[in-house]
Every structure is written in C-alpha cells, then in structure tokens.
Chains A and B, each alone.
Chain A
C-alpha cells in the first residue's frame, strides 16, 4: 500500500510508533505536559469566545504548548509534501474518489460532517487518539481504555458500513 501523498511508500510502522513515543515522553519530561491534541479545538474556541466552558483552567493553561505544537503539525505536513516532490493543493482522496465520488461540493460537505463528529465526539469523550489512545493507555487509565474501545468500534462499524455495504 502507498500513500495518497505523491504515491510514497510509508515509513515502517515501528519507526513511526517509536518517534511518536519519544515525542510523547519528551513533552512530559521537558515540559510536564500530557500529550492530547483534540483539546486544541477548544484552545481555538477559547481565543474567539468568552464562553466559560472554554475559559476553564485545563484549556487555558495548555494553550501555551498546544497552539505552537498544532502549528508544527501544519508545518510538518507542509515539509513532508514539499520534500517529497513539491507542495501543491489537491483534492485527491484515494478510495473515496474511486468508490463514492460525490463531486467537489459533496466531498467538502462529507468532510464537514465528519469533522462535526470528530469535534463533538472528542470533546464529549474528553480526548482522541493521542490523549486517550496513546497517552491514556500508556498511563493505564481506565477511561482511556473505555474511550479507545468506543472510538475503534465506531470507526470499524462506520467504515465497514460504507465500504462493504453501501458503496
């Protein structure tokens, strides 16, 4: 299997997992911060709304590391594309294009809907793949085990419904 990005072969899973572990541990050792990225959505909300939910300590106190980290994610994606064969805007979406299609407007609507589920679900569940799946599981937190089983189940059912039943 190859990546949608320039048809590159992926780096080995063990190497990718090791780098993720090192960065997770560095963040704790250097800065005393637990990895968790979906709170970043609340960070951004907290910049534009005075709603008390977004001004609570857990959000505001983490903005100082999370916002630059999120900016780094953008830069990392940009560098990855630029160094692989050049950065250019694209709408390519792999098997979605082959099996579902829907056109450009449909693709954006689909992605907005998917994003709604991601934003609402991660904030209701108090975390995502990084905060629950990697940090929480590694820290043996029961709520992270429950949430990780739930989001894997949600994804498995949805993808199988989409690609083995509907399309």
Chain B
C-alpha cells in the first residue's frame, strides 16, 4: 500500500507542477483575477469529485469491502481565523501545503524555507493548543 500512496502522490505532484498550481505567478494571477487557470483546476476538481463522492457514499464500500467512513470537519472560530491566515501565507509563498513539496522536488530552493516555516507554524499550534482551544472554541483533544 505504501507504494500505491507514493504513486498517487507522484501523479498528483506531477500534475500540480505542470498545471500552474505549484507556480508562484499562477497563484498571484488567481488572486489578482488575471488568470482563470487555478479557478478552472479547483472548480473542475470539485465538480467531478462531488458526484463521484456521492456515488461512492451511496455504494458505501471500498474496493476491499469495508464501509466508507468519512470524518467530517467540525465548524468553529478556527476555520475563519485559520483560513484567513493561511490565505496570507498562500499569497506570500505562492504555494499551498502540497505544492510546497512539489516546488522542493522541482529544485526551487526557497521552498525549503517555506516548509521550515510551515513546520514551525504547525508546531506552534500544537504548543499553544490549550490556549487556542479556548479562544477559538476548537475541539478538545
């Protein structure tokens, strides 16, 4: 299974790399509304995943026959605050989490600084979680 996941990730990464989803200029053009490319990619992905997901949930089984279980994400104040902060970071770096790794793979050295920052940011949330939990009504651990 590890090889399967790695293969899926490789195809995913290749497509992110060649489509503009891991490209600084394309990300800025999305936020400046000067290019449709990223809206087309995300829109198509959602438009096709939505009915596929509906069918899979209706059929209700994975290929191995086990029931499909999807943990829904809870709604809380962290969604708004975290989303806004992530948007600032996506704009500054021109990469969202997956494409940071794609950029490193491509040889874009500055992406190493971005992943170092992202790991530090994630670690900060872990350290501050008890306080953030109260402030943003996050789920208890």
Contact partner of A150 among B72, B79, B119, B125, CB < 8 A? B79
Do residues A118 and B62 form an inter-chain contact, with CB atoms below 8 A?
no
Do residues A155 and B5 form an inter-chain contact, with CB atoms below 8 A?
no
Docked complex: A15-30 residues within 8 A CB-CB of B: 15-30
Do residues B9 and A76 form an inter-chain contact, with CB atoms below 8 A?
yes
Closest-CB distance, B7 to chain A (whole angstroms): 7
Known: A124-B85, A150-B83. A77 touches B22 (CB 8 A): yes
A31 beta carbon closer than 8 Å to chain B: yes
Known: A53-B129, A68-B9, A115-B114. A13 touches B40 (CB 8 A): yes
Additional A-B contact list (14), CB under 8 Å, known A75-B9, A115-B93, A125-B83: A13-B44, A15-B19, A28-B56, A31-B4, A45-B122, A64-B1, A114-B91, A129-B98, A134-B49, A150-B79, A150-B84, A156-B91, A158-B87, A162-B92
Closest-CB distance, B79 to chain A (whole angstroms): 4
> What is the interface of chain A mostly: helix, strand, loop, or mixed?
helix
Interface size class of A (residues with CB under 8 A): 35 or more
| Interface of A toward B, CB cutoff 8 Å | 1, 3-5, 8, 10-11, 13-32, 34, 37-38, 40-42, 44-45, 49, 51-54, 56, 58, 64-66, 68-81, 87-96, 107-144, 146-160, 162-164
Docked complex: B1-59 residues within 8 A CB-CB of A: 1-32, 35-50, 52-53, 56
Contact partner of A21 among B19, B48, B100, CB < 8 A? B48
Closest-CB distance, B123 to chain A (whole angstroms): 5
B134 beta carbon closer than 8 Å to chain A: no
Number of interface residues of B (CB under 8 A): 116
Q: Which residues of A contact B49 (CB under 8 A)?
A: 20-21, 24-25, 134-135, 138
A sample of 21 cross-chain residue pairs with beta-carbon separation below 8 angstroms, ordered by A number, consists of A1-B35, A14-B44, A22-B48, A23-B11, A30-B63, A71-B6, A75-B105, A77-B101, A80-B17, A93-B110, A95-B25, A108-B110, A118-B86, A121-B87, A124-B125, A124-B136, A127-B73, A134-B49, A146-B83, A151-B87, A159-B91
Closest 4 CB pairs of A and B: A154-B87, A72-B9, A76-B13, A115-B117
